Each structure stands twice: as structure tokens, then as C-alpha cells.
Amino acid sequence: MAKVKIAVNGYGTIGKRVADAIRAQDDMEVVGVSKTKPNYEAQVAHYLGYDIYCPAENIGAFEKAGMPAAGTIEEMLEKSDLVVDCTPGGIGEKNKPLYEKVGLKAIWQGGESHPIAGFSFNAASNYQQAIGRDIVRVVSCNTTGLCRVISTIDKALGVNKVRASLARRAVDPNNIKKGPVDAIVLDPVKLPSHHGPDVRSVLPHINITTAALKVPTTEMHIHIVNMQVDKDCTAEDIKKIFSSESRIRFVGNGITATSEIMETTRDVKRSRSDVWENCIWPESIAVSDREFTFFQAIHQEAVTIPENIDAIRAMAELETDGAKSIEKTNKALGLSNWPL
């Protein structure tokens, strides 16, 4: 079967990972990646053998920098079946008419709001509803992390109410332009934070409220999640339910910090030290009546990457069974039982 041809528009934190993840699959291929500036990230794309596409007015700059562009962004789109838009939040919306003009299927990221596609995606929650769709939004890292645990518990026990507090990494490791360097920022002051409503864009029936703080770190978010469920349960029941979901993994061996998780992924030589799974501390699961609380860590740069691959597979109708797509994506990416 011919591979589905994918354009990756925007080759930054998310785009470079999506491109590599597509390359790892056997049913889809990367037509090219786009950059506006011929900087160090473009140089890496060139080194890795990706065809680079750029705005027409920048073709000369790429040529001069020794990494000639394969063409314009419009030309990349014309050669493709589907585009994954990984441009900064707010830019993706401006690209919509470009995709419509070529009649391309399109995926946007969580930096765009729900109405851009009218359908927000998380593989464990609503894969089936994405089959054959033309436009989809893959929700943000925090929302992905919340949807995975909520939908898993909802299927097993029924979720009545969720209250979650989020300590958000301030910026990604390579971002030298933003802080905070020494502060905890209420993000935002007015509650709830946007994460709860965003979860409801995937799981509309969930009663959820969230509050978020930005903390001076680049390594992962931490969530304190509290759920009320419809059935009696023990901490052991919750552990068993979480362990049935392949993109949830348990953290042990004395790890008490995000930096120790990242150190482990560097040590076991995961690509870019990426953690594609939710990391839950099973020891933290505390149950009281039909209510429980736990800690999880979410690697912002990585957690949405397998979701993009599953979204492509559903939209291109390469696989109608969500569980099979998740398994195929996981295997190709290399999710394995490395020690944590």
C-alpha cells in the first residue's frame, strides 16, 4: 500500500519530533519540513536528510546559508496528502486558507483553539471519532496528559468530578527568550485555567476544574489530579487500571523529581530523552471513599507526538481500530520497559 505523504509545517520543538516519528512508521512518509529561518534547527533538518521548504521570499537566504530549500511551503503542500501544522500557536490559524486552497487534510496542535478544527483529539479518548476526518486538533501536552488518565478511569469506574492543579514548566529547554527565572507565576490568576475546558473539548461529559502555576524549570510539568468516581475502589484497583494503558507508566526506584526522570531517559538513550508516556507515582495514589489523588509528570516536548501519529492514521483511514494504531505507533517509536 502506498504510504501517506505528510508535510510538517514548522520544524521546532514539536515539528522535529513529529517528523522523526513519521519516519519511524511504515505506513506514512515525510514529504518535507518547513522553516522560515535558515538557523541551527534548519541545519539539523538538512543534516538529517529532510527536504526543507520555506516562504518564497526566503529561498535565497537558505541557498546562501548552504542548505538550499527544495521549494516553497505551497509547493510542499501540493505534494502532500496531509499536513501537520507545528507552527507557533496562533500562526496555524493563519495557515488554514493555504490548506483549504490545496484541499489538504490538516492537523493542528494545542496552541490553536478548538474551533479551528471543531474536533479535538486524544487517541485513548476518541480515536474512533477521528476516522476519515479532514481537520483535527491534537490537544496540548497538559490536556493530553489529563485526557489519558481521565478517559482510562472513566471507562473502568465512571468519573464524576476532576480537580487538577498543574505546575507548568516555564519554557522549553532551548527557549532563551522567556522566563520566569526566579518566580512562581499564577497562570492565570483568574480560575479556572484553560486546561479544564480544553479537556472538555475531548471529553465533554467530564466535570473538571483546573488551576495552573508556571514554575522556573524546563523539565516537565507536574499535575496533582483528584478524581471522584462512581464505584468503590482501592489504590490497588487504580494501579491495575492505569497499568492497562500503554501510554501511562509508573515511576519508582526512589525517583521524586522530574529531573530524575529526565536523567533516566538520557541514560537509557531515548531519542532526545523523550518521555511519550504519562509518568505516575503509584505510591502517591491516595483513596478516600470514591475519591482519589495522585501525582503525574508530563514531558511537554514529547507527550503529544504519538497522538499526532494516531491522528494521521485515523484521518487517512489506515487503521480503524484505535488500540491497534496505538500499539503500532508505540512499537515504532520504541516505548519499552526501561527502568524508572
Ligand X SMILES: NC(=O)c1ccc[n+]([C@@H]2O[C@H](COP(=O)([O-])OP(=O)(O)OC[C@H]3O[C@@H](n4cnc5c(N)ncnc54)[C@H](OP(=O)(O)O)[C@@H]3O)[C@@H](O)[C@H]2O)c1
Q: Residues interacting with ligand X, by CB under 6 A?
A: 9-15, 34-37, 41, 86-89, 91, 109-112, 140-141, 172, 300-301, 304
Query: Please, are residues 208 and 150 in contact by the beta-carbon 8 Å criterion?
Result: yes
Nearer to ligand X (CB atom), residue 60 or residue 89:
89
Strands 159-169 and 208-215: parallel
**Cβ-based nearer residue to ligand X, 159 or 217:** 217
Question: CB of 89: closest distance to ligand X in angstroms?
Answer: 4
The CB-of-208 to ligand X minimum distance in angstroms stands at 19
What residues form DSSP beta bridges with 227?
A: 162, 292
For the chain, where are the E strands, in sequence order? 4-9, 28-34, 52-54, 71-72, 82-85, 105-108, 120-121, 135-138, 159-169, 185-186, 208-215, 221-229, 248-250, 278-280, 286-288, 291-298
CA dist., res. 202 & res. 300, Å (int)? 18
Q: Which of 32, 28, 29, 26 is nearest to 46 (CA)?
A: 32
Tell me whether residue 37 or residue 101 sits nearer to ligand X (CB atom).
Answer: 37
CB-CB neighbours of 177 under 10 Å: 5
Residue with cell 535565497: 60
* 23 Cβ neighbours under 8 A, 6+ residues apart: 29, 30
34, 8 contact by CB (below 8 A): yes
Q: Which residue of the set 54, 141, 233, 279 is catalytic?
A: 141
Q: Is residue 141 annotated as a catalytic residue, yes or no?
A: yes
Q: Closer to ligand X by CB, 15 or 196: give it.
A: 15
Residues in the chain: 340
Q: Could you tell me the smallest distance in angstroms from the CB atom of residue 202 to ligand X?
A: 14
DSSP state of 50: P
Name which of 36 and 243 has its Cβ closer to ligand X: 36
Residue nearest to ligand X (CB): 12
DSSP type of residue 183: -
The minimum distance between CB 141 and ligand X, in angstroms, equals 4
Residues paired with 228 in a beta bridge: 161, 291
Shortest Cβ 34–ligand X spacing (Å): 4
Q: Report the residue number, 34 or 210, with the smaller CB distance to ligand X.
A: 34
Min dist. Cβ of residue 321 to ligand X (A): 26
Q: Which residues are catalytic?
A: 141
